[in-house]
Structure 1
Amino acid sequence: MSWIDELRSLLGNAAVLTDDDARQARSGDKWYASRMPDAVVLPGSTQEVSSIMQIASAASIPVTARGGGVGYVGGCVPIRGGILLSMERMNRILELNPEDGVAVVQPNVITADLQNQADAAGWFYPPDPASRKECTIGGNIATNAGGPRCLKYGVTRAYVLGLTVVLANGEIIRCGGRTHKNKSGFDLTSLFIGSEGMLGIITEATLRLIPHPQARMALSVSFDSFPTAARAVQDILNAGHLPSALEITDSFTLNAAREYLRSDALPSAARGHLIVEIDGRQAGLEQELREIRQLVHNLGAIKIDQAISEEAVENIWQLRREFSYSLKATGMTKLNEDIVIPRSRLVELVEFCQSLQRETGMQIACFGHSGDGNIHTNIMVENYKEPEQKKQADSCVDRLFQWVLAHEGTITGEHGIGLAKAKWFPEAVGSPVFELHSRLKRALDPQNILNPGKMGLP
């Protein structure tokens, strides 16, 4: 009996797919690389994942876990074939318990669905990746996803209390728990957060919920230069404010948005833009919003739009969400790099990108989470399939990463390493840390069957 027959005997024919359409549909993510697996397997429980891994381990079959498939680094590409373990059937919120401040979920719960259910109960799950309406909790944990709110609330790691994980040999472990404090041995829960499916398969997560803020308000602020917008970021924080989100945008992105939106939301003179969102108690917010508005006015803001209702705040965020679509509407390929720099180097980053743009002729758009220095730096390529343009674009990415590392930054803040950034990973973390990654991988996955070929590991 082949391993595929063995899986069908275990799970049934409907849960083991080998037709071309099913395999092609799950062969990649939003990065350009793809690879058809030998079979797509759809487990429905932790025990089934365990049984699948026992079969895979016995036959040394590669296994790549997949959630929503909306990553940007090829993290779920089954580069060595084998089993594509799609978690799509494991999509239930098992428990929502405000008394304990926890939610217990399966890995393929959509992030926005959990947020909506928590909100209906008066509670809050803060992590907010831009793809929250389609990305999954399991994928968020695998990449330690962030988003605009992480300035105030932190990234996914801050909300993971416990995990159920299936190891490469099929063993089921439970680390952490449902208490908000836990210091029992090594922090194994954190070991699996950000591990990109290379150390184990997450089948259940216990997540921390917090009370929902009573209200939120926002400002949309335009400046005549990017350095002025960057200065406003520092001044807002130096004045003692901790916004829930603080987003910055450069002139290239603003120009693309004006062309795409055909609206007067962004004045023609704007060369830098901020979104400032605050949340908390209603009465306190009104005063804080006035203070921040006065601060940016004093800095020379050329337009300030204020939002004091939920609907108005969402309208401001809709403008921000359109930035990415605006760049896509240019018709160019967008190489979206999620680098992180010390916040004080925001202007230096944009100046470097402008010099790189002048030198190469390739447009570079910068926008993102200015409060924590996580700036989405998009290299815009006219035709990425044309060999010479691809070579030049790849060279731009390399020079960007080298600059970031030389200025005490990191090459990824949210998307992960996967295939796309594997080339730079050893240099980014240094030889001793890279070797430690290798040793941990060998210890937990001695046959190298879990998402092999990622992070530059063998």
Structure 2
Amino acid sequence: MIPTPPDWLAGLISVINGDKVSVSPSTLGDHSGDKWYASHVPDVVVFAESTADVSAVMKYANENRIPVTTRGAGFGYVGGAVPVRGGIVLSTMRMNRILGMHPEDGVAIVQPGVITGDLQAAAHAVGWEYPPDPASLKDCSIGGNIATNAGGPRCLKYGVTRSYVLGLEVVLASGEILRTGGRLHKNKTGFDLIGSFTGSEGMLGIITEATLRIIPKPASRAMLAAIFPEFEMAAAAVQAILNAGHLPSALEITDTFTLAAARKKLGAETFPPGDAHLIVEIDGRPAATLSEIEELHQLLTTLGATFIERAPDEASCERIWKLRREFSFSLRDTGLTKLNEDIVVPRSKLVELVTFARRLEQETGIPIACFGHAGDGNIHTNLMVRDYGDPEIRVHADAALDQLFRWILANDGAITGEHGVGLAKKPWIRQALGETAFATHKVLKNAFDPNGILNPGKFLD
């Protein structure tokens, strides 16, 4: 059935060229959701090509109380880009230019549709680095990264997206254009509006340009990939590495279930026997890297690693990272639906988290796979559910999620470290924030978007 165009379509086309507007059923379907299971078809998709386009659309939408959901590359995992109330999906993917690469100022200026991996490649071409590295960096956009304050394996040493946002151009719900920050690495002028927009999930404004901090590219990197007999020993190694004065660029841990899935997909010989896997990556000057990797090798040996693979250069490091990136695909190949929860716990509670996950697994019958960023406590805790589309099974799985999130919050953790809240974690947001913080979020939302048209239906509704 072909949807009926909204009665406000002609007015929308009058403020933006019609070739940037689509009501094609296939286009509407393609823009109805992200990587989460939920979807809702919008009335119209607008492909903005400039800040002026975004401003015109927002002014018209605000005057006519039309919902607007901004969409980048659509690689979110929590339903953040689902246009719950229909209306307009405003795509920024045609705004995909790197406007300037300025190592002399240590900045890059980009439009929101730039793919993260393309920005990294452009920085590398001038001998510099943009450190944030979400697993989907070859597919996700900078605008989406800012909207969710995306992270990645190298957050331990280099920080999350917010650490690299120096300036923003934002179109507000009214269509007004706000600029905050700029090319300066220090700037304490007024409130931290950049911090308000970073991680706001498209509910406060639409980012149309970002000035991002870049850093000199480390001259070398090296890596160790170690197997331990049990998860507890690998978790203890994480603390021991840091206590010994090392600050790796990445510390990634993997549990038994995930390793078993990877061995099945990639071949049993890919990983030697053992129930836990630990990746330690370092970078810096060549002589320092060579010396530190030797120290770390000796340390892991004394900590009980039964196998250690050394990757002394860029190519061998990438080979190990390629295996690490296969973990999610290996879990998908089990035929189960992977509910990917990017929870965070204090580093000291890694073992307690996995112990709780094993207990929850036994109580519910739902397998749970844990792997991820051990260095900052951001462990992806994946509930592996059979036939999640079955309403009865979904109720059972959601009850298990509720137990997981309640345990996380009771243990000083967070329900999301890098994916955002979106729709997936909406039921727990009041408990996660607390009533006063939730009310403060509402005050900010009402100030920036008094008519409630920006990404409605999400966690503040």
1:366 and 2:370 equivalent? yes
Q: Which residue number corresponds to residue 357 of structure 1?
A: 361
- Distance in 2, matches of 1:22 and 1:389, equals 31
1:136 and 2:136 equivalent? no
| 2:395 pairs with one of 391, 398, 402 | 391
- Distance in 1, matches of 2:7 and 2:397, equals 44
In the TM superposition, 1:77-92 aligns within 5 A as: 77-92=82-97
Partner-residue secondary structure (3-state), 1:197? coil
1:99 and 2:104 equivalent? yes
Aligned residues: 456
Q: Which residue number corresponds to residue 26 of structure 1?
A: 31
Q: Quote the offset at 1:12 in angstroms.
A: 2.2
Please say if residues 337 and 412 of structure 1, whose CA atoms lie closer than 8 Å, have aligned partners that are also in contact.
yes
| 1:414 pairs with one of 409, 415, 418 | 418
Structure 1 regions of 5+ residues with no counterpart? Answer: none
The code of the aligned residue for 1:187 comes to: D
1:55 and 2:60 equivalent? yes
Partner-residue secondary structure (3-state), 1:339? coil
1:315 and 2:313 equivalent? no
Q: Which residue number corresponds to residue 282 of structure 2?
A: 278
Q: Quote the offset at 1:265 in angstroms.
A: 2.6
Stretches (4+) displaced over 4 A: none
Deviation digits for residues 343-372 of structure 1, max 9, x if unmatched?
A: 000000000000111111110000000000
Please say if residues 222 and 313 of structure 2, whose CA atoms lie closer than 8 Å, have aligned partners that are also in contact.
yes
Q: Which residue number corresponds to residue 250 of structure 1?
A: 255
- Distance in 2, matches of 1:18 and 1:148, equals 39
- Distance in 1, matches of 2:200 and 2:368, equals 30
Structure 2 length normalisation: TM-score?
0.98
In the TM superposition, 1:157-168 aligns within 5 A as: 157-168=162-173
| 1:108 pairs with one of 92, 113, 117 | 113
Q: Quote the offset at 1:389 in angstroms.
A: 1.6
1:266 and 2:271 equivalent? yes
Deviation digits for residues 85-111 of structure 1, max 9, x if unmatched?
A: 011110000000010110000000000
Partner-residue secondary structure (3-state), 1:450? coil
1:156 and 2:177 equivalent? no
Structure 2 regions of 5+ residues with no counterpart? Answer: 1-5
| 2:186 pairs with one of 181, 186, 193 | 181
Q: Quote the offset at 1:263 in angstroms.
A: 4.3
Partner-residue secondary structure (3-state), 2:382? strand
Q: Quote the offset at 1:391 in angstroms.
A: 1.3
Q: Which residue number corresponds to residue 290 of structure 1?
A: 294
Deviation digits for residues 144-165 of structure 1, max 9, x if unmatched?
A: 0000000000000000000000
- Distance in 1, matches of 2:404 and 2:134, equals 23
Please say if residues 16 and 57 of structure 2, whose CA atoms lie closer than 8 Å, have aligned partners that are also in contact.
no
Q: Quote the offset at 1:386 in angstroms.
A: 1.8
The code of the aligned residue for 2:95 comes to: M
1:192 and 2:192 equivalent? no
Q: Quote the offset at 1:385 in angstroms.
A: 1.3
Partner-residue secondary structure (3-state), 2:222? strand
Q: Which residue number corresponds to residue 13 of structure 2?
A: 8
Structure 1 length normalisation: TM-score?
0.99
| 2:78 pairs with one of 56, 73, 77 | 73
Q: Quote the offset at 1:331 in angstroms.
A: 0.4
Please say if residues 91 and 110 of structure 1, whose CA atoms lie closer than 8 Å, have aligned partners that are also in contact.
yes
- Distance in 1, matches of 2:398 and 2:263, equals 28
Please say if residues 16 and 56 of structure 2, whose CA atoms lie closer than 8 Å, have aligned partners that are also in contact.
no
- Distance in 2, matches of 1:311 and 1:77, equals 38
Partner-residue secondary structure (3-state), 1:301? coil
Q: Percent identity?
A: 62
The code of the aligned residue for 1:240 comes to: G
- Distance in 2, matches of 1:242 and 1:10, equals 52
Q: Quote the offset at 1:48 in angstroms.
A: 1.2
| 2:123 pairs with one of 118, 143, 149 | 118
Please say if residues 3 and 55 of structure 1, whose CA atoms lie closer than 8 Å, have aligned partners that are also in contact.
no
Partner-residue secondary structure (3-state), 1:296? helix
Q: Quote the offset at 1:69 in angstroms.
A: 0.3
Partner-residue secondary structure (3-state), 1:449? coil
Q: Which residue number corresponds to residue 439 of structure 1?
A: 443
Q: Which residue number corresponds to residue 342 of structure 2?
A: 338
Partner-residue secondary structure (3-state), 1:379? strand
- Distance in 2, matches of 1:310 and 1:345, equals 32
Deviation digits for residues 217-274 of structure 1, max 9, x if unmatched?
A: 0011000000000000000000000000000000000111111111423113x11110
Larger mean Cα displacement after TM superposition, 400-409 or 386-395: 386-395
Q: Quote the offset at 1:28 in angstroms.
A: 0.2
Q: Which residue number corresponds to residue 3 of structure 2?
A: none
Q: Quote the offset at 1:5 in angstroms.
A: 1.2
Please say if residues 378 and 417 of structure 2, whose CA atoms lie closer than 8 Å, have aligned partners that are also in contact.
yes
1:347 and 2:347 equivalent? no
- Distance in 2, matches of 1:300 and 1:107, equals 46
Deviation digits for residues 193-239 of structure 1, max 9, x if unmatched?
A: 00000000000000001000001100110000000000000000000
Q: Which residue number corresponds to residue 405 of structure 1?
A: 409
Deviation digits for residues 99-134 of structure 1, max 9, x if unmatched?
A: 011000000000000000000100000000000000
